[in-house]
Structure 1
Amino acid sequence: MKNVTDYQGKQVLVLGLAKSGFETAKLLLKLGATVIVNDGGSLEASEDAQALRTLGVRVFDQGHPLELLEGTELIVKNPGIPYRIEILQEALKRNIPIITEVELAYQIHEGRTIAVTGTNGKTTVTSLIGDMFKHSDLKGHLSGNIGYVASKVAQETDEKDYMLTELSSFQLMGIQTYRPHIAVITNIYSAHLDYHGTQDEYVRAKMNIFRNQTAEDFLIFNSAQKELLSDYEVNGQIIYFSTTEETDGSYMKDEKVYFRNEFIIDVKDIVLPGKHNQENVLASVAACKLAGIANEAIIKTLTTFKGISHRLEFVTEQQGVRYYNDSKATNTLAASFALDAFKEPIHWICGGLDRGNGFEDLDQHVQSVKRMYIVGETTEKLKAFAEQHDIDYTICHDVKDAVNQTAEYTEDGDIVLLSPACASWDQYKTFEVRGDEFIRQVGVICQMND
């Protein structure tokens, strides 16, 4: 951990507690800052809030009073808190800098960083890279949006270590000096418009990942979307990946994977399922080759890595019916990948938070859908979608109810697929909670049928 002195004696407001706020507050104390924590909800029962108070942190909850800005020189904001709330708008007027904790993590990290963002695939790519590092002589630390608070992980690294960081657009809006040696953008499609307001703002947030790079750094980018870079200044070296054409990076040709014309592996030997994962593999291979990972470590991962929880995760097979948990599919593109992965009849559990978008992007991906089980705020939209495509449907209270309803209609050879095409927040705190409920209820159904 670098000896950073910029925060000594500085009053810093940590906005939003949660895991990242708790770790951020503790780190800032180590760095000599005067720390205030503020959360909009009630922290009366929070052990973390009490622990911070014991350390001398002032903690305020149940609102964001503007008085907290008095004397504040910096705000470290929870990524999920939108900039449109009053206290942040007032902070901007007063020219108080606002960052997210990944910026703080970068400032104290002594080694290099591989950072991954994108609309879809970023968790899979980060996990693949992490697994490749695990099989290599180099040390990599998973961090960021993948579930490990970056500002905590950074304290455990030295100058030889890599931070392997998954970044959301929300996190990337709050950076200043953040500069990954290797940046990966898997793809960019429409998402999070309820937060960003416009697609242009969302794209700009994603592109922040490379804004501080220099000529010695690398940007790994999807060749199919290279036109998106035309409006941005890229100072790093662009390395493209492609499943359809040869590039000066990673690509597929004749069912083989190459990096800069060097053969890596036959596609048939890659165990991670789905065509969409081929791009994830190529992005991961490029990042690890640039970091100096040996082919043996890369191949070890590609021949053993079967995927991660809530991403087209096989749950079980019962009486010839296979169950898949794809709760991470929080938009239509991710859901289309899952729907295209099966030729068998699909019982599709879908729906969730209504972000204002339609589902017409799925028009060409529902040929195998036998029945839809619709939940959440988007019920009316998905009901209309089902009727438009002449698909039978059942309106369900929640995912648990949907799993129960599938038992009435499934038969040998069918697929039950949770791939909501929507965020979870109308009914569930996270997509993980939603996926766990699916898995739990599938287990109940299986026990009943034993």
Structure 2
Amino acid sequence: MLFLFLFFLSGLKKELIQGKIDELERLDNLMKYITDFKDKKVLVLGLARSGESAARLLDKLGAIVTVNDGKPFEENPTAQSLLEDGIRVICGSHPLELLDEDFALLVKNPGIRYDNPMVEKAQQKVMPVWTEVELAYLISDAPIIGITGSNGKTTTTTMIADVLNAGGKSAKLCGNIGYPASSVAQEANSTDLLIMELSSFQLMGIKDFRPHIAVLTNLMPTHIDYHGTLEEYIEAKWNIQKQMTAEDFVVLNVNQEEAKELASRTQATVVPFSTREKVDGAYLDGETLYFKDQAVMQVSEIGVPGSHNVENALATIATAKLSGVANEVIKGALSSFGGVKHRLQFVGQINGISFYNDSKSTNILATQKALSGFDNSKVVLIAGGLDRGNEFDDLVADLQGLKKMVLLGQSAERLKRAAHQAGVSFVDASDIADATHKAYELAEEGDVVLLSPANASWDMYANFEVRGDLFLKTFEQIKEKV
């Protein structure tokens, strides 16, 4: 018995050693064919996960890396860790004179605007300004499927990964979804697929980046404060395809005229999807989802409700078919898809009452889309949050017929006016926990308790994740007591 145990340990040790050797060999290969950064001075502006990943990768590739982050060093464990590993860090401010050094490249955090003085000075010096996804592309052995758009990016990215994995592919999530692309790219090989969520901020900082498949979910007037105009925002999104060729594919939502116009401005092969018309791609006809005249599944079989999720499913179907996944596999994976945390996430049932966490719905449009997937007469809606000064007149038609509303936060009084117009009764709540308890008490078997606030969370909670997590926690507490 002891011999067998020692034999097992020996095998495990060999496996671990081999894994380390494989990792070192892969790094060695990277070093052989990526020499662009060797002994070049590179500035990484802003940390967070993507900044740390970029700094560590550039250091591995032989760059002389400096990291500059606004958070004070003594409060900055990431900067402390980088310094311990021999990477130069400057924290607490962004000194413009730093750019007087002979940097060959600036890699910035996507959230840092281009009118930031450090970025402006770098551009004046004609210094390339990248985001970390460009580095991921340069080192990636794996083909990239890139997903961007105004709404639905995270859900569609996750749907695509689930369907491809169900089809026997090795799909790895990365990018704006929370896993730094340059970290995941280092671990991937040529048999993997990188399923990369991409924001407009990230796509402004690319040069040679080229996905094999690009997905544009939709275009809405968002982040105009960052981009300046809707036209510049759309151009940032459309950067995703600028290096693509006819051998690559752009999966495009042609429900929108803006997207139809973009289709004429790409070298890639356009694969359209639509819920409004039959197209040479993925489309909705009645209650059936098709790909090029082949029925794939029914709307009722999609695992998450809502008209927006029909669009997300069509984008996923198009991508999956381009990747060689069978219809039955697609149908099975999309039928079992349970949503993404805080994005119309099905939480569970208590006494036949279904709970959905849509804390990510921080505006009217998102809540309209969430409500579109349900019978209003069976919905108890929890809404309210930060008061941005807007009324909710545009939401009135979508509120009509609701069973009840539970309102909280700064915007509650404005939502009450909308509820009155819609003829819906409501109750007040002090916070999300109180609202969840009250919504459960108002609901009956067969009903839905839907957290879809139509407001940001910052009046009461640090972010929508905190708000959604409290909803999930309260659901579990109620369930334990039943």
- Tell me whether the two structures share a fold, i.e. TM-score over 0.5: yes
- How far 1:401 sits from its partner (Å)? 4.7
How far apart are the structure 1 equivalents of 2:111 and 2:242? 22
Given the superposition, is the C-alpha separation of residues 181 and 425 from structure 1 closer, same or farther in structure 2, using an over 3 Å criterion?
farther
1:401-423 CA-partner distances (Å, limit 9, x unpaired): 5435546x724255332112234
- Tell me the equivalent position of 1:337: 369
How far apart are the structure 2 equivalents of 1:92 and 1:390? 55
Given the alignment, which residue of 78, 89, 111 partners 1:80?
111
1:116-138 CA-partner distances (Å, limit 9, x unpaired): 11122211211111112212233
- How far 1:320 sits from its partner (Å)? 5.6
How far apart are the structure 2 equivalents of 1:331 and 1:302? 26
- How far 1:157 sits from its partner (Å)? 1.6
Given the alignment, which residue of 236, 240, 251 partners 1:220?
251
Deviates more, 1:353-362 or 1:327-336: 353-362
Given the superposition, is the C-alpha separation of residues 198 and 393 from structure 1 closer, same or farther in structure 2, using an over 3 Å criterion?
farther
TM-score, normalised to structure 2, is 0.84
- How far 1:26 sits from its partner (Å)? 0.6
- Tell me the equivalent position of 1:285: 317
- Tell me the equivalent position of 2:241: 210
Q: Tell me if 1:5 matches 2:35.
A: yes
> Which structure's CA Rg is the greater one?
2
- How far 1:14 sits from its partner (Å)? 1.5
- Tell me the equivalent position of 1:200: 231
- Tell me the equivalent position of 1:105: 136
- How far 1:50 sits from its partner (Å)? 1.9
- Cα contact 1:143–1:149 (8 A) shared by 2: yes
**SS in structure 1 at match of 2:407:** strand
- Cα contact 1:374–1:393 (8 A) shared by 2: no
Q: Tell me if 1:416 matches 2:416.
A: no
How far apart are the structure 2 equivalents of 1:199 and 1:426? 28
- Cα contact 1:130–1:164 (8 A) shared by 2: yes
1:17-32 alignment runs, 5 A limit: 17-32=47-62
Q: Tell me if 1:373 matches 2:407.
A: yes
TM-score, normalised to structure 1, is 0.90
**Tell me, which stretches of 5 or more residues in structure 2 are unaligned?**
1-25
Identity %: 46
1:172-210 CA-partner distances (Å, limit 9, x unpaired): 122122111111011111222333333223222222211
More helix by share: 2
Given the alignment, which residue of 270, 284, 287 partners 1:252?
284
1:104-183 alignment runs, 5 A limit: 104-183=135-214
Deviates more, 1:99-108 or 1:167-176: 167-176
Which structure has more relative contact order (CA 8 Å, sep 6+)? It is: 1
- Cα contact 1:257–1:264 (8 A) shared by 2: yes
How far apart are the structure 1 equivalents of 2:161 and 2:279? 24
How far apart are the structure 2 equivalents of 1:360 and 1:82? 33
Q: Tell me if 1:41 matches 2:74.
A: no
- Tell me the equivalent position of 2:335: 303
- Cα contact 1:374–1:383 (8 A) shared by 2: no
Given the alignment, which residue of 320, 341, 355 partners 1:323?
355
Report the AA paired with residue 134 of structure 2.
E
1:357-436 alignment runs, 5 A limit: 359-369=392-402, 370-376=404-410, 378=411, 381-382=414-415, 385-386=418-419, 388-389=421-422, 391-392=424-425, 398-403=431-436, 406=439, 410-413=442-445, 414-425=447-458, 427-436=460-469
How far apart are the structure 1 equivalents of 2:346 and 2:83? 44
C-alpha root-mean-square deviation of aligned residues, in Å? 2.7
1:334-360 CA-partner distances (Å, limit 9, x unpaired): 211112222235443334456676644
How far apart are the structure 2 equivalents of 1:399 and 1:198? 35
**SS in structure 1 at match of 2:81:** helix
How far apart are the structure 2 equivalents of 1:362 and 1:183? 32
Aligned length: 447
Report the AA paired with residue 43 of structure 2.
L
